[in-house]
Amino acid sequence: MSENVVSLSGVHKSYALGEYEVHALRGVDLNIAEGEFTVIMGPSGSGKSTLLNLLGCIDLPSTGTVEICGHNTNHRSEKELAALRRENIGFIFQAFNLIPVLSVYENVEYALILKKVPETERAELVDKIIDQVGLAAHKHHRPNQLSGGQRQRVAIARALVTRPRMVLADEPTANLDSATGKSILALMQEMNDLYKTTFIFATHDPDVLTFARRAIRIHDGKIDGDEHAQPKKKPASKRKSK
């Protein structure tokens, strides 16, 4: 059995919204193993974003334990959590969240710079991943010169260039048309196969399901479904730049 990259036990999370207290997660137990390609599905307000925040070590539970890559996040300082993220996690956002003043190359490189990877090693890693996401021709373009799909590819490259143990993607296809979205998902699956990086998505896009091997449903702060999909044939990888 692969080691768990994610291990949640008895996790509750509440936060204040004005005068009200919102109970976003009400007792979640969850284990995700290395190399999984998992989707967390749920409607708005189900707590899936909150769950993803906890998984990403950018937030802490109110009660319960969150163990990421073997590290318990409770009682960790901001500095320690940042280190955890740097070493183990890559992020992909719905709005791509690229740094507008940096080129494609520089955006991807930035993740390595944060990890203090020396300059000599960086070039090789960056060029390779940019190649793999099919953006070699746009290496020196700025994000505002790229299409939505291209930007998300950059985001993927950035998330993966550091070889994290897991990649968290919050609604990665929400801002893309269905065709582009599918090609993005295909790419991520390819990466998952290639590097055995755990991919965890939060989404309410049903198309994503077809790519996932595991689907966790969350509703009202509780997990109410956890299906493992049948192994599927890999779709032919198309290197399409859109």
Partner 1 sequence: MKNFKMPTSVKIAFRNVFRNRRRTLLTLSSIVLGSAAMIDFDGYRNFADWGLREMYIRSQLGHIQIYKKGYRASKGMKPFEYLIANSDDIKKTVSETLGDRLKVVTSRLELNGLITKGGQSYNFMAQGIEVDAEKKMSALDDGTSSALNVRRGQGLIGGDSGAVLLGFELCEALGVNDGDLLSLMGASVNGALNATDLLWKGCFSTISKEYDKVATIMPLADAKRFAATEDVLKIVVMLNNTDMTDRARKDLEAAFAAKGYDLEMVSWLELADYYKQVMVFLGGMFMVIATIIVFVVVFSIVNTLTMSVFERVQEIGTIRAMGAEGTQILRLFIIEGIMLGLIGGLIGMCFGGVVAFAINHAKILLPPPPGSSEGFLLQLRLYPSSFLLGFSIAVLSSFVASIYPAMKAAKLRVVDALRHV
Per-residue mark of binding to partner 1, 149-168 (x: CB under 8 A)? ---------x----------
Question: Stretches 31-39, 62-70, 96-104, 130-138: which one binds partner 1 (CB under 8 A)?
Answer: 96-104
Residue that the structure tokens 């993740």 belong to: 111
Q: How far apart are CA 110 and CA 108, in angstroms?
A: 5
What span, in angstroms and rounded, lies between the C-alpha atoms of 51 and 12? 10
Question: Is the CB of 87 or the CB of 226 nearer to partner 1?
Answer: 87
How are strands ordered across the β-sheet holding 20-33? Answer: 20-33, 4-17, 63-68, 71-72
Measured between alpha carbons, how far is 15 from 174 in angstroms, rounded to an integer?
26
Q: Toward partner 1, which CB reaches closer, 52 or 184?
A: 52
Report the site for partner 1 in 179-218 (rule: CB under 8 A): none
For residue 93, the minimal CB distance to partner 1 (Å) is: 7
**Sign of the torsion angle spanned by Cα atoms 97, 103, 109, 115:** negative
| Residue 79 binding partner 1, by CB under 8 A | yes
Binding site for partner 1 (CB under 8 A): 53, 56, 58-59, 78-79, 82-87, 89, 91, 93, 95, 97, 99-102, 106, 110-111, 113-115, 158
